Structure 1
Amino acid sequence: MIKVMSFNIRYGLANDGDNHWNNRRHLALARIHAFGPDLLGLQECRDDAQADFVRLSLPDYHFFGIHRQGPGDTALEMAPLLFRRAAFELLDSGCFWLSETPEVCGSKSWDSAYPRTVSWARLACRPTGAVLTYVNTHFDYHPAAIVGNARCLRQWLEQIFRTSPLIVTGDFNAAKESDAYRLLAGDTMLIDAFRQVHPPGEDEATFHAFGRQEERAPIDWILVSDHFRVVEARIDRSHEGKLFPSDHYPITAVLDWKADIERGSGVKSRAAT
């Protein structure tokens, strides 16, 4: 089984009053430990004391993230991916920008408010050697940029899908009726893990703005290729009174490889971690 979590932890310098990072960071860490992911995608993780806390608190994980760059303090934000070293061997990793020039560091397009990155890692499962590509991202929030981000990511994923099973996590800043969702989960390349095991119409909201009912939206997704069977998918809505781990709920999935699938990875897809 492969346990996957996507979690926007809200950047540490935000003026969130009682829900400031320093007050809730132990809750955020507790939710990660409670699930024990093999693959963990974070969003809004600043490469300062916030990322230092994450790295120190998760010593069994490999941490890979690149500054999104751009002007001001937001340049230090990352969309890092983490994987449990006991579960995976790192074969390759990289980062690109969601723009018309994805290879240009700090680039942005489509009236995006900020540069946005995609972190990826090609991983071999221990002990079987089955190979997959894990991808984590955080889309912009301007409508035109969201669609542009989705198209850019889709083009990259189409190339990878030819040779590797895919697991994608992220804060996509878009609801599931959006063009961005249709671009990424509207055909057979990727499926929405949560919707595979929950009936339509079930509460899918992950963003909640620290408990504000009117702000709730299903913008955090775990998407997987059909190499995987979704065993379980949940939204972790844990909190302590008015103190929340973040303004997003973490979303989780438990995956298993489908039997007897080989999609160009060169390894049998029946594996466990």
Structure 2
Amino acid sequence: MKKLWVLGVGMMMTVAGMAQQLSVATFNIRLDVASDSPNHWKNRKEKVVSQVLFHQWDVLGVQEALPNQVADLKAMLPAYGFTGVGREDGDNKGEFSGIFYKKEKLELLASETFWLSLTPTVPGSKSWDAAITRIVTWAKFKHKKSGKIFYHFNTHFDHIGQEARRQSAHMLLQKVSSIAGNTAAIITGDFNAKPQDEPIRIIVDETNPLHLTDAKVLSKTGHYGPVGTFNGFGPKGKDEAPIDYVFMKGKWQVLQHATISQTWGGRFASDHFAVMAVVMLGK
């Protein structure tokens, strides 16, 4: 009888642990561009949605999502809430770096967007040598079953301006610290930078108390799938190194980490692969 009781308690603890797991992903879905021809959004949106539904991501940061793409995903993912604004006007113009989340599992407590510029509260602003307006959208969530609170920051760094990329990395660390404080945070995005590039070296610099940690490094089961995350709609990944990341801040356990490289008859859902991690918030 005692053995059965211990077994029952163990099973309950396992189920409770699974209930507190979160599946997190970042996905640059490629903006809607007519010149993409066979890879146009109208031919890809079902593929993007099918990945979300198959992997059952609890929280998903998307990049390059234009207003019509956000509208499509909202309509096709009714179980998900969404938060975010267009980067050009702080409303519905330009690309979003928004966050989708499972409404049944997570409660949205607060959300805002800031601009990666010298005037972060001014919509549409850009600074330094940035080629394009860039933003960070953040959300504060409560995990409904456990009551645990965490933050999710989602971004898309500039692809050209070296100073902008350097300053964006520093600003991201400062903002995560000032907004989330000691509360655990997930940071997702297309950073347009490989691990050896300056923005990523700044972000993961362990000599800086504000640093973040790549979820891949923390994964208890290593990494699954390609290492590179950009495919360019080609027959295979173009790079051997990632530019899309899931970073962690705080007491997280990372159970799994993967790059999702599914194809449909040789066609990709986007010119980037989604990157995901299965995580658990520690005590």
- The alignment's TM-score, normalised by the length of structure 2, stands at 0.84
Question: What is the DSSP-based 3-state SS (H/G/I as helix, E as strand, rest coil) of the residue aligned with 1:16?
Answer: helix
- Partner of residue 122, structure 1: 140
Q: How does 1:42-81 map to 2 (within 5 A)?
A: 42-48=62-68, 50-69=69-88, 75-81=93-99
The answer to whether the 8 Å contact 1:191/1:226 transfers is no
Quote the residue 2:267 is aligned against.
243
How many residues are aligned here? 254
**Deviations for 1:110-168, whole angstroms, at most 9, x for unmatched residues?**
21111111111111111221111111111110133221211111111122342311101
Matched, 1:169 2:193: no
- Cα deviation, residue 212, structure 1: 5.7
Q: Does 1:88 align with 2:106?
A: yes
- Contact persistence 2:99–2:137 (CA under 8 A): yes
8 Å CA contact 2:87–2:134 kept in 1: the answer is yes
User: Matched residues in 2 for 1:39 and 1:176: separation?
Assistant: 24
Deviation at 1:36, TM superposition (A): 0.7
SS of aligned partner of 1:215:
coil
Deviations 1:217-273 (A, max 9, x none): 410000012310000000000001331100000010000122x3xxxxxxxxxxxxx
Answer whether contact 1:228 1:255 (CA < 8 A) is retained. Answer: yes
1:215 aligns with 2:238: yes
Q: Which range is displaced more, 229-238 or 9-18?
A: 9-18
Deviation of 1:17 after TM superposition, in Å, equals 2.0
1:156 aligns with 2:175: yes
Partner of 2:38: 18
Gaps of 5+ in 2: 1-20
Deviates more, 1:187-196 or 1:61-70: 187-196
- Please identify the structure whose Cα radius of gyration is greater: 2
Aligned partners of 1:132, 1:24: CA distance in 2, in Å?
A: 31
- What is the CA distance between 1:191 and its match in structure 2? 1.1
180-189 or 225-234, which deviates more: 180-189
C-alpha separation in 1, matches of 2:34 and 2:62: 16
The counterpart of 2:214, out of the listed 167, 192, 195, is 192
What are the ranges of 5 or more consecutive residues in structure 1 without an aligned counterpart?
261-273
TM-score (norm 1): 0.87
User: Over aligned residue pairs, what C-alpha RMSD do you find?
Assistant: 2.0
Conserved? CA contact 2:226–2:261, under 8 Å: no
Runs of 4+ residues deviating >3 angstroms: 212-215
Bigger relative contact order (CA 8 A; separation at least 6): 1
CA deviation after TM superposition for structure 1 residue 199, in Å: 6.0
